[in-house]
Structure 1
Amino acid sequence: MNHERSRELYDRALSVAPGGVNSSVRAIQPYPFFVEKGDGGHVIDADGNRYLDFVMGYGPLLLGHDLPEQVQSAIQQRAAEGPMYGAPTEVEVELAEFVARHVPSVEMVRFVNSGTEATVSAVRLARGYTGRDKIVIMQGSYHGAQESTLVEGEGTHTSPSSPGIPESFAEHTITVPFNDEEYVEAVFEEHGDEIAAVLTEPILGNHGIVHPVEGYHDTLRDLCDDYGSLLIFDEVITGFRVGGPQCAQGKFGIEPDVTTFGKIVGGGFPVGAIGGRSEIIEQFTPAGEVFQSGTFSGHPVTMAAGLETLRYAAENDVWAQVNDLGAQMREGLTDIVANRAPEYTVVGSDSMFKVIFTRDGASGENHCGSGCRQRESCPSYDACPKNGADVDRAETERWERLFWPAMKEEGVFLTPNQFESQFVSAAHTEEDIEEALEAYKEAL
């Protein structure tokens, strides 16, 4: 493949943008390719190279790059009527009603502009509602670029994971291993009266794709109830992708107190949202005293894109379509891995998928078939990643430096590291999945 134009653009970008990019995950070695346009389930770069796209904007593009007419029309109409107003619009009410009607735990919604802004606001809300300062997060989890969760360490022995964050922020954050019930129970026994909230993804989606073991979320729910803490589900990735319109909480049958959203709920435009029980969400100003505000919150173009995307998905059985394709991908990958690299683990759910380059060999037939589900009956159960640390021990350098470039040369665009998920969209076809699987055979 020729990448001369992308190289020229990157050279220019280095002079005006730190690292030549506007998000650190795009800093692919030796340099990223620059996308010119999307086309259904593909992207085309500045040099005319065409790739099967399983990044899908890191998750927001449930429908792919070619939006259905009703979604395009809604976006174009809103943009033509004026970019924004500094006043409420009907469409933001309609999108909030859609979310509240379909997501089990949500009665009220506050829209913001990113997943980071949603989790920042949710943490502030939990602290304001409970009058407590400490929050519990999963080790290795990512909840956006916010000071309270950019921490490293174990338990109460945490420190900021980035320069520029005061140590005092980390002092209020407790980290626990995902899927370790005994560990989190011990944390609550010691600090329960100080804990404002547990913040977790229902499925770890930004540090590999790690399913909860059976009963783990129930334990978190019970602990929060017993100690008067809030359970916050970060569904920025899983929201309206896992579990269809009920999201991952509906799939797992757990109702958190607060949920954060992003990505799909904005239809591919910048968005975030915080939803939950009315008595909690009403603590936001102006109804309550927990400050939250934003110039671009509830932006009419974003609200229209999100509403029409979700309406189209509900009316056209999109979730069943993409979930079938996701299962086809994971089943095919399971067969390939069994022959080419049996120590690796295929993970994912619904329209998410990934191959984690785990180092421990599987101990027999994989009973999950379509992605690891943490089933104790599976002979591979002990070898499957249970938390972020398990994913960290995978062959991340091999994935990034050998496998990802090989897939790119095969014309398949994946997220450029071992951790972030891949996504299937409604624009993909069964033929696309088969083409991708052939590329995996070559690259593995």
Structure 2
Amino acid sequence: MNHERSGDLYDRALSVLPGGVNSSVRAAIEPYPPFADHGEGGHLIDADGNRYVDWVMGLGPLLLGHDLPEQVQSEIQRHASAGPMYGMPTEIEVEHAEFVARHVPSVEMLRFVNSGTEATVSATRLARGYTGRNKIVVMQGSYHGANDSTLVEGDVDERGPSTAGIPAEFAEHTIPVPFNDPEAATEAFEKHGDDIAAVLVEPILANKGIVHPVDGYHETLRDLCDDYGSLLIWDEVITGFRVGGLGCAQSKFDIDPDVTTFGKIIGGGFPVGAIGGKSEIISQFTPSGDVFQAGTFSGHPVTMAAGLETLRFAAENDVYEHVNSLGEKLRSGLTEIVREQAPAYTVAGTDSMFKLIFTREGPADVSDTCSGGCQQDESCPRFDYCPKTGADVAAVETDRWRRRFWPAMKEQGIFLSQNQFESQFVSYGHTEEDVEETLAAYREAL
């Protein structure tokens, strides 16, 4: 493949953008990232005209693929042509909130914002304001956006910022515990329960290789929050309207969080975030409550139209049947490949998400392991080897994945997420032919 134009664009970008990018993950590709030109269905065409089967899908927002159905496109254009924005409420944001509240079990009221990061920042502020407490429990290695309250590493006893620019005092109010470790969560509450405002957790670690919860883990967190009067916040920025369909992951796992953060699909490919939950809690945002939250572009009419029409189209068509079926084919096909060629590796994912994790060890007999992606099934021979925490994923062969495997897939026209940790996504624009081409590339690259 020729990447001359992308190289020239990257050269220019380095002079005016830090690291040549506007989001750090985009620079993970070496020696430089291909620059996108346009998309078609489930495919991406870069600035040099190279075509890829695209499993990144904008890092998750593009449930319908790059080609939007006519009803979605026409609504976006209708609202864009009416004027860029107003600084006033519009009917479309009310309709979108009503749709989400009808379909997501725990949501009675919403506040729309402009990114997943803004959603989690606002949700943690809301939890502190509502409870009158300071501390937030998060999962070690989890990612909740560029949020000063969650960019923290360590454990219940000793912790600090995970990046420069955050005062150490901030980190004292955040308690990282390992995902899938109920004892560690219980210990955190025993030590700090009277000052824990909330637990902030993804239903699945979706930014760390895709890690499912072990049986009973989310129920433990729900019980701890109830016992200590803390809020349970589910970060569904990635899983929302992808895992569990219109009911989101909380319907799949049958857990009722107090607050849910959304992003990505809820905006149909445009900048968006949202905080949803029980009216008693969400109404604490200003102007009805005392927790300040505001944004010039919040509830932007074009974003609201894109998000609402995307979800309406999904509700009225076979979108979830299509994407979940292809996701199952990918994961099942990958399972067969790794059984033959890389038995230590772990296939992960659910619904329309998938990932191959380069774990270093596996069982002696892999003939009877899970075929549709690791579900943390205790009867599976791989159970003791599957990653269960963010640290487990961080310990896999990340350099091999990035330096050897990812380039080999790209050269075969398969575009995967930029590092070992980010999820990969199926869209309505993908086909069975795309799946077969991708599985053939995996077989060759491995």
- State the AA in 1 paired with 2:401: W
Partner of 1:70: 71
Q: CA deviation at 1:320?
A: 1.2
Q: Please state whether the residue corresponding to 2:74 is helix, strand or coil.
A: helix
Q: 5 Å matches for 1:222-371? A: 222-364=223-365, 365-371=367-373
Equivalent residues of 1:240, 1:247 under 8 A apart: yes
1:410 aligns with 2:412: yes
Per-residue deviation at 1:47? 0.7
Counterpart position of 2:423: 421
Q: Deviations over 1:173-216 (max 9, x none)?
A: 00100000111111111111110000000000001100000100
State the shift of 1:156 in Å. Answer: 3.5
1:166 aligns with 2:167: yes
Asked whether the 8 Å contact 1:179–1:216 carries over to 2, the reply is yes
Give the unaligned 5+ runs of structure 2.
none
Could you tell me how far apart the structure 2 residues matched to 1:72 and 1:106 are? 27
Whole-angstrom distance in 1 between the partners of 2:190 and 2:50: 56
Render the CA deviation track for 1:86-108: whole Å, top value 9, x for unaligned. Answer: 00000000110111000000000
State yes or no: 1:7 paired with 2:29: no
Deviation at 1:60, TM superposition (A): 0.1
State the alpha-carbon separation in 2 of the partners of residues 363 and 100 from structure 1: 48
Q: How does 1:200-239 map to 2 (within 5 A)?
A: 200-239=201-240
Q: Distance in 2 between matches of 1:262 and 1:361?
A: 35
Tell me what 1:151 maps to.
152
Secondary structure, in 3 states, of the residue corresponding to 1:269?
coil
- Partner amino acid, structure 1, of 2:88: A
- Is the contact made by 1:325 and 1:433 (CA closer than 8 Å) also made in structure 2? yes
- The answer to whether the 8 A contact 1:125-1:284 is kept is yes
Say which of 358, 378, 381 aligns to 1:379: 381
Asked whether 1:390 is paired with 2:392, we answer: yes
- 2:127 match: 126
The answer as to whether partners of 1:325 and 1:424 remain within 8 angstroms in 2 is: yes
TM-score normalized by structure 1? 0.99
Q: Following the alignment from structure 1 to structure 2, what is the Cα–Cα distance between the partners of residues 394 and 48?
A: 34
1:40 alignment partner in structure 2:
41
Residues 225-247 of structure 1: per-residue CA shift (max 9 Å, x gap): 00000000000000000000000
2:183 aligns with 182
Cα deviation, residue 432, structure 1: 0.5
Counterpart residue identity of residue 156, structure 1? D
- Is 1:111 aligned to 2:112, yes or no? yes
2:135 alignment partner AA: K
- The letter of the residue matching 1:382 is D
Amino acid at match of 2:435: I
Is the CA contact 1:116–1:143 (under 8 Å) kept in the aligned structure 2? yes
Alignment of 1:91 onto 2:102: no
Once the two structures are superposed, what CA deviation does each residue of 1:139-191 show, in whole Å capped at 9, x if it has no partner? 00000001100011122311111111001110000010000011111111111
TM-score by length of 2: 0.99
Aligned residue for 2:384, secondary structure, equals helix
SS of the aligned residue for 1:32 comes to coil
* Distance (whole Å) between structure 2 residues aligned to residue 399 and residue 233 of structure 1: 30
The SS at the match of 1:382 is: coil
SS in structure 1 opposite 2:276?
Answer: strand
Summarize deviations over 1:241-270 as a string: whole Å, max 9, x none.
Answer: 000000000000000000000000000000
Separation (CA, whole Å) in 2 of partners of 1:10 and 1:309: 33
Residues 380-427 of structure 1 deviation map (CA, whole Å, 9 limit, x = unaligned)? 100011110110110000001110011000100001111000000000
Give the C-alpha shift of residue 363 in structure 1.
4.1
**Aligned equivalents of 1:425, 1:86: Cα separation in 2:** 33
Q: Cα distance, 1:362 vs. partner?
A: 2.6
* 150-159 or 58-67, larger mean C-alpha shift: 150-159
Q: Secondary structure at the match of 1:146?
A: coil
Aligned partners of 1:140 and 1:265: how far apart in 2?
25
What amino acid is the match of 1:389? A
Q: Say if 1:354 and 1:421, in contact at 8 Å, map to a contact too.
A: yes
Aligned residue number for residue 194 of structure 1: 195
How far apart, in 2, do the equivalents of 1:156 and 1:81 lie?
55
- Tell me the residue number matched to 2:434: 432
What letter matches 1:252 in structure 2? Answer: F
For 2:143 and 2:35, locate their aligned partners in 1 and report how far apart those are by CA, in whole Å: 26
| Preserved CA contact (<8 Å) 1:64 1:427 | yes
Letter in 1 for 2:4: E
Q: Check conservation: 1:156, 1:175, Cα contact below 8 A.
A: no
User: 2:179 & 2:22 partners in 1: Cα distance?
Assistant: 30
Distance in 1 between residues matched to 2:20 and 2:14, nearest whole Å: 4
Q: For 1:154 and 1:362, how far apart are their aligned partners in 2?
A: 30
Mapped to 2, the partners of 1:8 and 1:191 lie a distance apart of: 53
Q: Secondary structure of 1:381's match?
A: coil
Instruction: State the 1:317 CA deviation.
Output: 2.2
**1:443 maps onto 2:445 in alignment:** yes
CA contact (8 A) 1:156 1:173 kept: no
Q: Which runs of 5+ in 1 are unaligned?
A: none
- Equivalent pairs, count: 444
1:341-395 deviation per Cα after TM superposition (whole angstroms, max 9, x unaligned): 0000000000000000000123433442100000001111000111101101100
Q: Which amino acid aligns with 1:348?
A: G
Which residue matches 1:21?
21
Aligned with 1:383: secondary structure? coil
SS at match of 2:293: coil
Structure 2 letter corresponding to 1:427 = G
- Paired AA for residue 397 in structure 2: E
Which whole-Å CA distance do the structure 2 matches of 1:253 and 1:105 have between them?
A: 10
Cα distance in 1 between the residues matched to 2:334 and 2:363? 15
- Alignment RMSD (CA, Å): 0.6
